[in-house]
A and B are shown apart, each in its own frame.
Chain A
Amino acid sequence: MKKLKTLILSTLFLSSQVFAQAPVFTSLSNTGKNVLAGVKLEKKDHEPETYILNISADSMQSKKINLPDELIHREIIGIFPAEKGMLLVISQRTVEQGDKPQFHSYDVSTQKWKKLAETDCKSLSKVKIEKASLVVSCSETNSDGNDVESSKRIELTGMAMSKLKEVTFPIVKDDSASLKAELVGDAFEWKELKVGLNNKQKVFKP
């Protein structure tokens, strides 16, 4: 009976934990040397707070990349590596309705942010990464209320992308040679990030 009581109490404790508004991962990127993930913390009646978690593959230690004021309440929906230690970050306000996704560059060494572009593309479904531009595919609602696919080119002035590929959102898994990264949990509410290098594996929480 004592065991049953412990079980019941732990069930109650766990079920109450389900409703706690814990931070979640919203996006994932693997540069080959680092794993980066967007993080969002939602609290009732508060703007969502966001930042990027930067995990070094060598040390398996994480560091927070703080966002500029213009991005702190925007969800990070994509992070892509570029040459010369730059990152391309895609963000969107996702409460009530999606606004125009914005494209920023981030220089990791100088910690400088720069807004490159924004585009009308409510539900971003795919992105084709080219050297100096992106082609984004969007699922938009037309005037009849139907979903229509469209694609838009975003020129990336002053940036050269390093991993040229086409990706479909959401990016849940991103492997690069021996460095492997995967988001774990319910879609868009990922609560864990598994990072593996050779035989080592570590689980990160936001």
Chain B
Amino acid sequence: MNKLTNIFLLFIVFPLSVNAACPDGKTYPVHFTFDDGPHAVLTPKVLDILKEENVASTFFVMGKHFAGGKSNPQTKTAYALLDRMKREGHRIGSHTYEHLNHPQLSSTAMRENIMKPNPLLKDYLSPVLRLPYGGGSFRSSNPSIQAKNDLVMSTVKKAGFKHVGWDVDTNDWDAKKRPRLLPTMLRDICSNKGGVVLFHDIQKFTVDNVQDWIKAIKKEGHSFVGLERFVPEATKPLPPEACQTASPVKEIKTFDGEIYKILQKIKN
């Protein structure tokens, strides 16, 4: 029995799989996501690489790139990129209209920034959304911050979206952290047991390196999977409530707000 225990322990530490990337001897599913685009020059390069590597990804696009809709000639390239993403098997999610931190906005502005892209992108969007800075999607120990976060998340939910965060934040936007991006990402893939990885397709640095990162992940034995592996709701169509403009959300009552109302009454 003692011998059996020893053999068992040895297998845990030195597993059979030679490709095992992680200290636990396992390999994991990974999904790449790209925020802030599409970028007229850089996003096509990302799409070329993803096609070559046969990797399906999700693009969380900013609504402001589609201002005026298809009738605006300046959005032609952006829409053509969405067509290409769809054609090549990628998923498109909303990153809201402008890159703002939603809990810091008034409830009206917050709702508008979440809803505004939807009529412009209704033919392309899966019902998935990522809040800029993740603002509103986290739990806070501070009750007043949590109340604002709850309001943001309830607006996202009422609009019919599933919020998609990330398991691995690559910090590709920060020049100081880039030298350690690959080893940190590989380590975090192991510690999180795979998951959704966050990049930005508006950074030349990311576009210049993403193929090497894909190859490195594949070399470790991990596999690339679709978003639906982590977010089953991603396969559903965009619900009609995403494009509704009525029913404004309830305003948060704050002390500042009350003072403002009193001042308005005095002024009038």
Q: Which residues of A contact B (CB under 8 A)?
A: 1, 4-5, 8-9, 11-12, 15, 18-19, 45-47, 49, 69, 72-73, 93-99, 122-125, 139, 141, 144-147, 169-170, 186-188
Check: B207 CB closer than 8 A to any chain A CB.
yes
Give Cα distance in the complex from A192 to B7, angstroms: 37
Query: Shortest distance in angstroms between A28's beta carbon and chain B's nearest beta carbon?
Result: 14
Query: Which of B39, B99, B176 contacts A125, CB < 8 Å?
Result: B176
- Contact status of A95 and B133, CB under 8 A, knowing A12-B13, A139-B175: yes
> What are some 16 contacts across the A-B interface (CB < 8 A)?
A5-B9, A8-B10, A9-B9, A15-B23, A19-B190, A47-B145, A72-B142, A72-B145, A93-B135, A96-B130, A96-B134, A97-B99, A144-B204, A145-B42, A186-B180, A188-B177
Proximity bits, B79-105, A CB within 8 Å = 1, else 0: 000000000000000000001010000
Query: Shortest distance in angstroms between A60's beta carbon and chain B's nearest beta carbon?
Result: 30
In the complex the two chains form, is B133's CB within 8 Å of A96's CB? yes
Q: Could you say which residues of chain A place their CB within 8 Å of the CB of B13?
A: 8, 11-12
Give Cα distance in the complex from A49 to B169, angstroms: 17
* Number of residues of chain B lying within 8 A (CB) of chain A: 49
In the complex the two chains form, is A97's CB within 8 Å of B191's CB? no
Which secondary structure dominates chain A's binding surface?
Answer: loop
Query: Which of A4, A69, A122, A146 contacts B144, CB < 8 Å?
Result: A69
Check: B12 CB closer than 8 A to any chain A CB.
yes
Task: Write the chain A residue with the least CB distance to B180.
Answer: A187
Task: Write the chain A residue with the least CB distance to B201.
Answer: A145
Give Cα distance in the complex from A86 to B35, angstroms: 39
- Known contacts A93-B101, A141-B203, A144-B204; 14 additional CB pairs below 8 A are A15-B23, A18-B23, A18-B191, A46-B140, A49-B141, A69-B145, A96-B130, A97-B36, A97-B133, A97-B200, A99-B133, A124-B176, A145-B202, A188-B180
